[in-house]
């Protein structure tokens, strides 16, 4: 680990350090949102709601990638950053190799499983006779062929960010995302591949992102603690336990997200393709603030991990408070914009009046949870950074199993279709209250006070 990286974690003024680590990650996250919106936007331009619905249905499988991404990306990054704080570079070598190769193996298994059981899976997720063919073509490129590069590109981005190279990590992520935005209209509109074209663009883009990270690691091999050599792949108990201790709860959290989204799509399918398409657009629009929040949280994770492991609790706590303040302030502004501009925002993605009507109402209810998501996601990021995987797991179970999924069922009955967005907001309120308690307890247990 070179001196510049140590200085960034240990002595750079905190505001500057947070900006250096977070801004590239936020920009990268916003580009990833554009990448996600691009599929919906360009598919929506052909104005066939079944094609837009296909992207929405398949998005649940793409969300499932995050279970693997978090297992080895978040779990590995947390261990690497904490190892750097302890000056334990050997563990950082082993952790990076362990996460790299298991990410590849997991991607292969994921691809095989979805390819074999694709028909039943898509039916469970809400595909019907009108959407099954389009959804299947999209899944062929994004999952059957694309699982490994999709997972590996995100895992490598997290590992590179773990040693303070936030800019380099973001460049790799943005390269793939920007390429996807360029390729989408070519394949969807010019080649008339519709939703399948969006899937092909995603596959190519993820492959290019992987190539970038391979080249970066090879060129930086003398200045990085990361190692992708097969000789460093060891299934040592301590490394496995630490990676899974943080990564497994994060992975379970995303599997619960997939389950919740699958239930949402399945119940929305009763209301027709327009409702499914509206939910898909609503969720992609809400990805913008969500990814900003996640970008800030992920950006400061190495800073928190390093200072927690090295015992500099005062610097760690100040970073947490500053992050919460900035996130909540930004969420307030975006909530107002989404609530009062919902009709206009949905109409940017599709011109079907029925879909716009559904989407506008859904967005107004959904955007009310943004402030509470700030508290939830920053808290979970802190728990992951400090190795407190059990706390983040409890919050994930509380959010999805105890609150959101039961509320989805009950409120959809009371307030058909739109109650499902309200359920997500109410769940985040409940989780935020519990997260504040856990976060306060963690801060009080640290040795120094501010």
Q: What is the mean pLDDT of the chain?
A: 85
- Given a cut of 50, whether residue 450 has pLDDT beyond it is no
pLDDT at 1: 56
Residue 13 DSSP SS3:
coil
Phi, psi dihedrals of residue 295, rounded to the nearest 5°: -65, -45
Q: What angle do CA 9, 14, 19 make, to 5 degrees?
A: 90
Per cent of the chain over pLDDT 70 is 97
109-119 per-position pLDDT tens digit: 999 999 999 98
CA 298 to chain centre: 10
Q: Summarize the confidence of residues 125-147 as an average pLDDT.
A: 88
pTM score: 0.74
Residue 233 DSSP SS3:
coil
Question: Dihedral sign, CA of 377, 379, 384, 390?
Answer: negative
- Given a cut of 90, whether residue 433 has pLDDT beyond it is yes
Distant-in-sequence, close-in-space partners of 18: CB < 8 Å, separation ≥ 6: 299, 300, 303, 319, 322, 323
Residue 447: which pLDDT band, with cuts at 50, 70 and 90? Answer: low
Regarding predicted confidence, which is higher, 36 or 176? 176
Which of 40-44, 283-287, 325-329 shows the highest mean pLDDT?
Answer: 325-329
Per cent of the chain over pLDDT 90 is 23
Give the integer Cα–Cα distance in Å for 156 and 213: 7
* Under 8 Å between Cβ of 300 and 322: no
238-272 per-position pLDDT tens digit: 899 989 988 888 788 777 777 777 777 777 778 88
Give the integer Cα–Cα distance in Å for 249 and 387: 11
Phi, psi dihedrals of residue 127, rounded to the nearest 5°: -70, 140
Distant-in-sequence, close-in-space partners of 218: CB < 8 Å, separation ≥ 6: none
pLDDT at 449: 41
pLDDT at 448: 44
138-185 per-position pLDDT tens digit: 999 999 999 999 999 999 998 998 888 888 888 888 888 889 889 989
- φ/ψ region of 311 (left if φ > 0, alpha if ψ in -120 to 50, else beta) reads left
């Amino acid at each position: 680990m070179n001196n510049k990286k140590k200085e960034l974690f240990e002595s750079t003024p905190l505001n500057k350090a947070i900006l250096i680590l977070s801004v590239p990650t936020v920009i990268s996250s916003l580009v990833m949102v554009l990448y996600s919106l691009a599929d919906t936007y360009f598919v929506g331009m052909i104005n066939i709601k079944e094609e837009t619905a296909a992207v929405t249905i398949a998005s649940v499988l793409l969300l499932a990638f995050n279970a693997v991404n978090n297992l080895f990306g978040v779990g590995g990054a947390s261990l690497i950053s904490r190892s750097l704080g302890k000056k334990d570079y050997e563990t950082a070598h082993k952790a990076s190799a362990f996460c790299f190769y298991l990410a590849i193996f997991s991607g292969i298994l994921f691809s095989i499983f979805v390819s074999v059981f694709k028909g039943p899976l898509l039916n469970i997720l809400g595909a019907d006779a009108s959407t099954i063919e389009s959804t299947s073509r999209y899944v062929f490129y994004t999952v059957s062929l694309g699982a490994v590069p999709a997972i590996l590109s995100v895992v490598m981005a997290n590992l590179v960010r773990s040693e303070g190279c936030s800019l380099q990590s973001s460049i790799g992520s943005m390269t793939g995302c920007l390429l996807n935005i360029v390729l989408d209209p070519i394949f969807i509109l010019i080649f008339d591949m519709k939703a399948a074209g969006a899937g092909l663009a995603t596959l190519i883009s993820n492959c290019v992102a992987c190539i970038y990270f391979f080249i970066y690691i090879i060129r930086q091999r003398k200045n990085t603690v990361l190692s992708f050599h097969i000789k460093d792949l060891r299934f040592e108990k301590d490394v496995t336990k630490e990676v899974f201790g943080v990564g497994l709860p994060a992975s379970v959290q995303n599997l619960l997200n997939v389950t919740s989204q699958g239930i949402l799509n399945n119940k929305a399918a009763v209301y027709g393709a327009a409702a499914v398409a509206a939910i898909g657009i609503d969720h992609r629009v809400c990805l913008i603030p969500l990814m900003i929040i996640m970008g800030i949280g992920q950006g400061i994770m190495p800073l928190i991990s390093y200072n927690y492991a090295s015992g500099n609790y005062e610097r760690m706590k100040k970073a947490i408070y500053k992050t919460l303040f900035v996130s909540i302030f930004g969420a307030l502004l975006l909530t107002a914009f989404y609530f009062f501009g919902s009709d206009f925002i949905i109409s940017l993605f599709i011109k079907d009046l029925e879909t716009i009507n559904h989407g506008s109402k859904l967005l107004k209810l959904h955007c009310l949870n943004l402030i509470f998501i700030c508290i939830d996601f920053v808290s979970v990021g802190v728990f992951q950074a400090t190795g407190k995987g059990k706390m983040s797991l409890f919050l994930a179970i509380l959010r999805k199993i105890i609150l959101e999924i039961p509320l989805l069922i009950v409120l959809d009955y009371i307030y058909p279709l739109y109650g499902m967005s309200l359920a997500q907001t109410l769940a985040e309120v409940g989780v935020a209250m519990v997260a504040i308690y856990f976060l306060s307890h963690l801060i009080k247990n640290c040795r120094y006070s501010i």
